[in-house]
Amino acid sequence: MEKSAKSFKAFYEASFMSAGHDLSRKLADEFINDFIYYTPIKLEVLQSYLNVGQIDTFYNSLGDLKYLIEFSDNLSRYWYLLRGYSGALAKLKANQNVKGSKKLYGYYFEKYGDRRSIRHEHWFERKRWEFLDELNAIFSDDDLEIFVLKYQRVLAENMEIYVSFVMAFINDLKKLQHPSSSSSVAANKKLSQ
């Protein structure tokens, strides 16, 4: 994640360059420090939506972190997975019956059916078609309830993975943002040994 953090820092430093050197440095530092401080809070809020089953609110709020997909394959991969699962589950929960599940399957098949052939070649497509194939095999409200609970759990598990990647990204960014504090921590560890 260190390369990703360097890319993020360089991008936002360059974004503020039109303001003049001293001011641009200050604005970039403020932006990056705010990102480091507020992003873990955003992640906690997202997690709270999952914990109480507000999948639609989770889905809508996840958009606030989309810009991170540009900086890391892992952040991109898991953001899209969370977005895909939460969007489908939100639609499913809005009309949670077998007829609604069949309509949802039809909607996604019409939209993505031509991508079925690449499910063995692409990680995300494999996940999409596992979800859709299981959805298509539902014929009772009890099975639908089990399906929704299963994918809420899968969504929560993937959120944990996403959070771990974002936090690693933030930790690397902290080291870049405050290199003297990172080196003093390392020096203190060596002295204590």
- Helices and strands: H and E segment counts in the chain: 8, 0
- Joined tokens for residue 121: 């070649």
In a domain, 187, yes or no: no
Structural domain boundaries enclosing 117: 2-179
In a domain, 52, yes or no: yes
pLDDT tens, residue order, the chain (193 aa): 678 888 888 888 777 776 566 777 788 889 899 999 999 999 999 999 999 999 999 999 999 999 999 999 999 999 999 999 999 999 999 988 999 999 999 999 999 888 888 887 888 889 999 999 999 999 999 999 999 999 999 999 999 999 999 999 999 999 988 776 544 444 444 444 4
Question: Considering the domain boundaries, does residue 185 fall inside one?
Answer: no
Does residue 188 lie in a domain region?
no
- Asked whether residue 148 is assigned to any structural domain, the reply reads yes
Q: How many CB atoms within 10 Å of residue 62? A: 19
Q: Is residue 193 part of a domain?
A: no
Is 85 within a domain? yes
For residue 35, CA distances in Å to 10, 73, 161, 168 come to 14, 19, 19, 13
Q: What is the pLDDT of residue 29?
A: 87
Measured between alpha carbons, how far is 23 from 118 in angstroms, rounded to an integer?
49
Domains held by the chain: number:
1
Is the residue at 118 inside a domain? yes
